[in-house]
Structure 1
């Protein structure tokens, strides 16, 4: 099941891709850019890290561009060859074919992606929507996942719909109707622990441009069930943020323990929101590094 076309205008698409390039340059790393053919269309992949290092596949959050999430995990490139795809049907350089988050499409897309990259299996990191993609892969092709890191993930239940409506959706609509810096800061503030006024200017510009120029994906990946994941036994780390408006710990942790057979580690980011602060991201990377290298 697919839906085509995510941008509201050609100028909006150009603006998103320009900002993507600005954020990528700010990462100050050397990237190889690959295009992989999948059954749903071409997928653009950023590749970095030593050629002979073990692979690590990093999926990004929904309705944002790849470099925003990749920045969280980029220091892991000292030990891993990182493959970071632009999620198909989301802002970026991949095909605009939007996949259904309710069926097996994302799992099939990941299988095609791994085949195109020549990876039989790999550890995977998925923040937010990307965590849901990892779980869809675990349901569709569990043998392709070596280790799984689910970071503030979708796919394990959601928080209060009323809270999301009041704190996220309505301010976002207000911004789209009458864009202003104050309205943009109000719309994004619930997702961040630090004051929105102190956020990176390019990050805010990307979020605002996405609100204005992209037909947003409005559905999270479906909530995984124990039956779906019955064959998935890869070691799994779950990291949750204490004040996550989308995926609160009190919902996600019990669901993960009831659903994921080999949940080895649960990390609570205290005082954090959906987008962790730089200090929290640094602490999280330490957890990920030890978890991902546990096999030597």
Structure 2
């Protein structure tokens, strides 16, 4: 199996960054290795042991502690299970599985079976939302509620804009790294203030990881026709990858029980502290609502 890392030194840098960011969460976090049909998966577990379960899937081409840091308020109310996505930077198997078929759905089922969780609410930002939709297509009965944030798997933005505004500047950065070049490359992702921890991760991943360029397959109304779990979609107005103007209309078409689809005004793909504060309040309210 080919490594997703460019060098062993690059892998060590990513894992050191992972551990540093995990420590900075100031949470009691257990790390549990689970064997799945696709390989070992590392799962971060936190929150009160007696609390109801909540599954959080990380964004793509990042490290799990960054994603978990966005949902810290929820750790007081739920027993959170946050798997390192297989084939992405982190501590799970480096084996990449297809995001175009049922593979991610099968992977999620393996995780839930091992954890003895029959059904649970799930949260997924970006690539993680696409994983939830692949699971909804394969095993909809395992999802009690779904929260899809700046989501993949529904619609996409302009490929031309992504290439010229992000990919080419990122290639320039990797060829000759500097903080100025990195800031130029990520500006379209953030739109407003740049989070320093996220910036550090993006720079390290782009220098050291062979990026996963395949996004989860776009879900269809036909394959989600039996997916009746209440679903909340939160999309960024200025998200270059998955703009609200495309996401929200299509979500109404393909998701049978779309409770709400909201546009995060002024938000890019990476969300600032004020928006994250609102998102956590909105999610908690949504999860507390009776089905």
Shorter chain as denominator, the TM-score bin is over 0.9
* SS of corresponding position for 1:287: helix
> What is the distance in 2 between the residues matched to 1:119 and 1:74?
22
Spell out the pairing of 1:119-130 with structure 2 (5 A cutoff): 119-130=117-128
Please name the residue that 2:176 is paired with.
Answer: 178
Taking structure 2 as the reference length, the TM-score comes to: 0.98
CA displacement, residues 177-204 of structure 1 (integer Å, 9 cap, x when unaligned): 11111111111111113233xx32x432
> What is the distance in 1 between the residues matched to 2:72 and 2:37?
28
> What is the distance in 2 between the residues matched to 1:89 and 1:134?
16
Q: Does 1:218 align with 2:213?
A: yes
Q: Per-residue deviation at 1:84? A: 0.4
Q: Per-residue deviation at 1:9? A: 1.0
Please name the residue that 1:40 is paired with.
Answer: 38
> What is the distance in 1 between the residues matched to 2:114 and 2:71?
23
Please name the residue that 2:279 is paired with.
Answer: 284
Aligned with residue 205 of structure 1, among 190, 196, 200: 200
Aligned length: 291
Q: Does 1:22 align with 2:17?
A: no
Please name the residue that 2:106 is paired with.
Answer: 108
Please name the residue that 2:241 is paired with.
Answer: 246
> What is the distance in 2 between the residues matched to 1:96 and 1:4?
8
Q: Per-residue deviation at 1:207? A: 1.1
Which of structure 1's runs of 4+ aligned residues deviate more than 3 A? Answer: none
Please name the residue that 1:99 is paired with.
Answer: 97
> What is the distance in 2 between the residues matched to 1:48 and 1:148?
20
* SS of corresponding position for 1:131: helix
Asked whether the 8 Å contact 2:251–2:261 carries over to 1, the reply is no
Aligned with residue 60 of structure 1, among 58, 73, 81: 58
Please name the residue that 1:274 is paired with.
Answer: 269
Asked whether the 8 Å contact 1:4–1:98 carries over to 2, the reply is no
- 5+ long unaligned stretches in structure 2: none
Spell out the pairing of 1:256-271 with structure 2 (5 A cutoff): 256-271=251-266
CA displacement, residues 49-80 of structure 1 (integer Å, 9 cap, x when unaligned): 11010000000100000011111112101111
> What is the distance in 2 between the residues matched to 1:140 and 1:20?
31
Please name the residue that 1:189 is paired with.
Answer: 187
- 5+ long unaligned stretches in structure 1: none
* SS of corresponding position for 2:70: helix
Q: Per-residue deviation at 1:4? A: 4.4
Asked whether the 8 Å contact 1:5–1:98 carries over to 2, the reply is no
Asked whether the 8 Å contact 2:120–2:143 carries over to 1, the reply is yes
